[in-house]
Amino acid sequence: MNFDVLKDKNVLMIVSGGIAAYKSVLLLRELTNCGASVQVVGTENSLNFVGKATWEALSGRQPLFGTFETPDSSKITHITLAQDVDLIIAAPATANIIAKAACGIADDLATSIFAAATAPVLIAPAMNSAMYRNPANLKNIETLQGRPGFHVMAPASGALACGSDGIGRMAEPHEITVEAAGLLSPKPARGTSWLVTGGATREYIDPVRFISNGSSGRTAFEIADAAHAAGGEVTLLGVNAEPAFNPGYTFLKSSTAAETAGIVKENVRNADIFIMTAAIADYSPVKAPSKIKKGEASISLTLDKTTDILAASADWTKPGAVRIGFAAETDDLEKNALAKLKRKKLDLIVANRVSDDFSPFGSESNSVLFITENSTEEFKNITKCKLAQLLVERAVAIYRVKHGND
Ligand code: CTP
């Protein structure tokens, strides 16, 4: 995920009176680490959970709690606070503050800011599960979700401060930061649908052993995040791989090459942009019905060729869709990758060099070539996040050219 969009942004963070306020301390930290300037506005009740000194030390600014606290007396505080910012984040948002915001009640500084907001508002609810499920609360959330500029994050399930277990936990600080970065990102991919695959297939030898490879799926997760942040409708197919956080895409799972082929066939017909990063086994053993027992000094496996999903998908893809593949090569990188681009009818192929000293699998950064039929671009030592951003930009550009609206 590209957090650069948060750099130099003015964020107003509303903190209401819930125990999850302690997690908002970490959120504040993460936002400032990304280069955002954060003004904290708390409700009076929030002071029961986290004190002024903590907010002040971490934001470098005086936190505000009352309607008549004015850092600049020439301005009307709640109006300037609500309108001179790039983003408002309410975390934690209690049932009470959500209800007030839904009804337009503005009886303190925090709720007056909701009422006067012109910037996007991101709300992270946090409350006990009975309060969350209360029909009045659900109705209030629905009202806010339907209000232009308002985005309400789903709370998580798990242990709650009241000792019970259930839905109502505030989203994790990192998830809120991802959502915030997504809201502030430009949306060049709006109106396009994406299918992205990532991970490594498992081909079973017997019920307990399989043949696989080291592809972690990280690149695919970064691509899915970047495409989602750019406004695309994303379906991510995780092949034995699952992202820690899903910011709002459709997530599908597969394990073997055959299953993956079936799911790609089913979904690629709806994709405007198809990116196949998954490392698919080229051969699969005939699976023994029960565990193979140790005995012989050596044994052999018979392997059958699997479907080349990317090549086969040329017949399943929507006309005019953008098709992107990856190539891992030990020798003749450019030549082999270009041959794959042609054989698999791709618009672009990302070529990775693999050697005894370097494998892109599981590594943080990578040196790659972006190869199209008539161009080659080289990117040295770029992070997977940067690679994803660049690839999403190129994919959208190719799509716009194909569809005549660049
Ligand atoms: N791929 C696929 N189905 C396969 C094998 C590969 O869809 N059975 C896709 C990969 O997801 C990747 C591209 O094809 O996007 C190239 O994969 P790679 O392993 O580099 O090439 P192969 O076609 O398998 O050729 P080789 O292993 O001989 O290099």
Per-residue pLDDT of the chain (406 residues; tens, 9 = 90+): 889 999 999 999 999 999 999 999 999 999 999 999 999 999 999 999 999 999 999 999 999 998 666 666 556 577 888 888 999 999 999 999 999 999 999 999 999 999 999 999 999 999 999 999 999 999 999 999 999 999 999 998 887 777 778 889 999 999 999 999 999 999 999 999 999 999 999 999 999 999 999 999 999 999 999 999 999 999 999 999 999 988 889 999 999 999 999 999 999 999 999 999 999 999 999 999 999 999 989 999 999 999 999 999 999 999 999 999 999 898 999 999 999 999 999 999 999 988 666 666 666 778 899 999 999 999 998 999 999 999 999 999 999 999 986 5
In this structure, the answer to whether residues 392 and 251 fall within a common structural domain is: yes
pLDDT of residue 358: 64
Q: Which CATH number belongs to the domain containing residue 77 in this structure?
A: 3.40.50.1950
Assess whether the C-beta atom of 306 lies below 6 angstroms from ligand 1.
yes
Distances (CA, A) of 289 to 201, 204, 208, 297, 299: 19, 10, 10, 21, 16
Assess whether the C-beta atom of 276 lies below 6 angstroms from ligand 1.
yes
Cis peptide before 92 (omega within 30 of 0): yes
Assess whether the C-beta atom of 200 lies below 6 angstroms from ligand 1.
no
Confirm if 234 and 224 have CB atoms less than 8 A apart. yes
Nearest CA to ligand 1 atom 28: 282
How many whole angstroms from 229 Cα to the centroid of ligand 1?
Answer: 28
pLDDT of residue 405: 67
Confirm if 182 and 5 have CB atoms less than 8 A apart. no
Confirm if 115 and 39 have CB atoms less than 8 A apart. no
Residue with tokens 């089913």: 266
Alpha helices in 280-323 (DSSP H): 309-312
In this structure, the answer to whether residues 180 and 198 fall within a common structural domain is: no
d(CA 307, CA 143): 48
In this structure, the answer to whether residues 162 and 211 fall within a common structural domain is: no
Beta bridge partners of 250: 235
385 is catalytic: no
In this structure, the answer to whether residues 303 and 198 fall within a common structural domain is: yes
| Residues sharing a CB contact under 8 Å with residue 213, sequence separation 6 or more, in sequence order | 200, 279, 281, 361
d(CA 170, CA 158): 10
pLDDT of residue 71: 61
How many whole angstroms from 314 Cα to the centroid of ligand 1?
Answer: 14
In this structure, the answer to whether residues 243 and 172 fall within a common structural domain is: no
d(CA 92, CA 103): 18
In this structure, the answer to whether residues 84 and 145 fall within a common structural domain is: yes
Assess whether the C-beta atom of 316 lies below 6 angstroms from ligand 1.
no
How many whole angstroms from 14 Cα to the centroid of ligand 1?
Answer: 49
Which of 156, 81, 164 has the alpha carbon at shortest distance from 125? 156
H or E stretch at 152: strand 150-152
Assess whether the C-beta atom of 310 lies below 6 angstroms from ligand 1.
yes
Quickly count: other Cβ atoms within 10 Å of residue 182's Cβ.
22
Q: Which CATH number belongs to the domain containing residue 289 in this structure?
A: 3.40.50.10300
242 is written with which tokens? 């699952």
Quickly count: other Cβ atoms within 10 Å of residue 236's Cβ.
28
Assess whether the C-beta atom of 65 lies below 6 angstroms from ligand 1.
no
In this structure, the answer to whether residues 238 and 332 fall within a common structural domain is: yes
In this structure, the answer to whether residues 272 and 293 fall within a common structural domain is: yes
Confirm if 392 and 384 have CB atoms less than 8 A apart. no
In this structure, the answer to whether residues 231 and 336 fall within a common structural domain is: yes
Confirm if 3 and 21 have CB atoms less than 8 A apart. no
- Domain edge (last residue) among 184, 202, 225: 184
How many whole angstroms from 327 Cα to the centroid of ligand 1?
Answer: 7
6 is written with which tokens? 């948060």
196 is written with which tokens? 């992205």
In this structure, the answer to whether residues 293 and 357 fall within a common structural domain is: yes
- Domain edge (last residue) among 163, 184, 205: 184
Domain count, the chain: 2
Q: Indicate the top mutation candidate among 282, 313, 343 to test ligand 1's pocket, ranked by most ligand atoms within 8 A of CB.
A: 282
Region label for 129, one of left (φ > 0), alpha (ψ between -120 and 50) or beta (otherwise): alpha
If you count DSSP H runs as helices and E runs as strands, how many of each does the chain have, helices first? 13, 19
| Residues sharing a CB contact under 8 Å with residue 21, sequence separation 6 or more, in sequence order | 15, 46, 49, 50, 92
Which of 248, 279, 233, 272 has the alpha carbon at shortest distance from 398? 272
How many whole angstroms from 2 Cα to the centroid of ligand 1?
Answer: 28
In this structure, the answer to whether residues 74 and 173 fall within a common structural domain is: yes
Assess whether the C-beta atom of 308 lies below 6 angstroms from ligand 1.
yes
Q: Which ligand 1 atom minimizes the distance to the CA of 326?
A: 15
In this structure, the answer to whether residues 170 and 214 fall within a common structural domain is: no
H or E stretch at 344: none
- Domain edge (last residue) among 132, 165, 184: 184
3-state secondary structure (DSSP) of residue 205: coil
Query: Residues 34, 103, 162, 385: which is the catalytic one?
Result: 162
- List the domain range (segments joined by +) for residue 59: 3-184
